[in-house]
Each structure stands twice: as structure tokens, then as C-alpha cells.
A and B are shown apart, each in its own frame.
Chain A
């Protein structure tokens, strides 16, 4: 696009959009940090039924989208409408891309749960093949331990009655050993 064919829209910054009257096309240059490539793809895809769309990178850190109207465009105003609608669509795609990125973990979690639920309950063969030898619980903080185990409180010993019975059982045995000797 030669500079003598370019005109600028009065309400769009000249550095962003320029129009060529000879080939009824309009170019728009956007910052790749503000508008990721996936958003540029999305917005461009929507316009391929109305325009011929070409994307290039005139410099590192920017994309230039050239929209060339398929139908005959009589007025510059029609091109201005195209570039304006494309800018809005690009902003919409960028925002949706950002929302998807922010919620990626939640989306993946829900998807995995849905797929796991659709698989149904495990069969008897699956249970037979399951490896139960693996540790069921990894408890590095000791949360699953009892209060006594965790704080070293001694477990209650045998009751006095039980101790007396144990002593009584031991004494006759000693007597029999002496008698046999």
C-alpha cells in the first residue's frame, strides 16, 4: 500500500488504521502485547465471509491486519465501518481469551469430573486389577494422627485389676518350677 493512496480516518488514530482507495482495503496495526495472536485469529475468522483478510507482522511486537472488502465499496465510510467493527470484535475476542485463561483450571477440573462421571462405576475387573499396595494417604503434616500420637501423650496402661491378675498367674508357675526342681 503506497503512502499516496492512504487516507486516515478522522476518528481513528492514524498509527492504528489506514485505508487505500485503490484496492478498497483497510489496514489496522495492533500491539501484540494487548491483542494476542489467538484473539487476532478469532476476529479475522469472523470477517473472512465479508473480506479478504491477511495478517502480517510489520515489526516485532505488532500485527497488521489487512481487510480487503469482497463486495464493491463505494465510500470510505464503508471501510471505516469495517475497521471499526473489526476493532470491536478484536477487543471482544481478546477479553474472552483472557477470561478463558483466568478460568482454565476450573474449566479443566469440571471437564475431567464430567468425563470421569460419564465413564460410570469401575467394573469388578477394574477393582481386581487395582493396586491396593500403594499408600492410601500421604500425611506429611500428621493431620490423620490421633491426638495422643501427635503430642506424645502416653497411652493408658493396663488397669490395676488386670495387673493383679497377671501377677497371680505368674506366681503359681514359679511354685511349680521350684517343686519340679
Chain B
């Protein structure tokens, strides 16, 4: 399991929700939040591709955030 902490002033929460839906085929996700971060615990379903799944998930969240024009 890998814990990703996305800064709330950098990443859009809606982007994380959308990315979790898309990537739920490849990993299990547990979402929580703190005052400053969106916390996502990622458990890849394929251990051999864990690094790729976590990394591509982070890129996907970043891409969706940029497409939205940033954090509104």
C-alpha cells in the first residue's frame, strides 16, 4: 500500500475522485482528507506493476487538475 498526499491548493478534489473511478480497475483506493491534503491510499492489484500504477495515477490526477484550470 502506498499513501499519496495531494496538496489541496495544488490538486483539485474532483480530479482525484474522477481518477479513482478510472483507476479502480487497477488498484484499491481509500480516501481521506486533512486540512491541507487529500490523502489517497493506493493498493495496486498487480504488485509487479505497483510503481507504474501509482505513478500513472498521480499523473492522471495532475492532468485532470490542469485540464480543469487548476484548483477553483
Listed in ascending order, the chain A residues whose CB lies under 8 Å from chain B are 37-38, 41-42, 44-45, 48, 52-57, 63, 68, 70
Task: Tell me, rounded to whole Å, the shortest Cβ–Cβ distance linking B63 to chain A.
Answer: 6
Contacts of A42 in B (CB 8 A): 66
Determine whether the beta carbon of B55 is less than 8 Å from that of A68. yes
Interface residues of B in 11-46 (CB under 8 A from A): 11
Determine whether the beta carbon of B59 is less than 8 Å from that of A53. yes
Interface class of chain B by DSSP: helix
Task: Tell me, rounded to whole Å, the shortest Cβ–Cβ distance linking B26 to chain A.
Answer: 15
Task: Tell me, rounded to whole Å, the shortest Cβ–Cβ distance linking A52 to chain B.
Answer: 3
Determine whether the beta carbon of A53 is less than 8 Å from that of B58. yes
Give the total of B residues in contact with A, Cβ under 8 Å.
Answer: 18
Contact partner of A70 (CB less than 8 A), chosen from B11, B54, B55, is B55
Determine whether the beta carbon of A52 is less than 8 Å from that of B56. yes
User: Can you name the residue of chain B whose Cβ is closest to the Cβ of A54?
Assistant: B58
Contact partner of A38 (CB less than 8 A), chosen from B4, B52, B55, B70, is B70
Contact partner of B9 (CB less than 8 A), chosen from A38, A54, A57, is A57
Determine whether the beta carbon of A55 is less than 8 Å from that of B7. yes
Contact partner of A45 (CB less than 8 A), chosen from B7, B52, B54, B66, is B66
Contacts of B65 in A (CB 8 A): 41
Task: Tell me, rounded to whole Å, the shortest Cβ–Cβ distance linking A53 to chain B.
Answer: 6
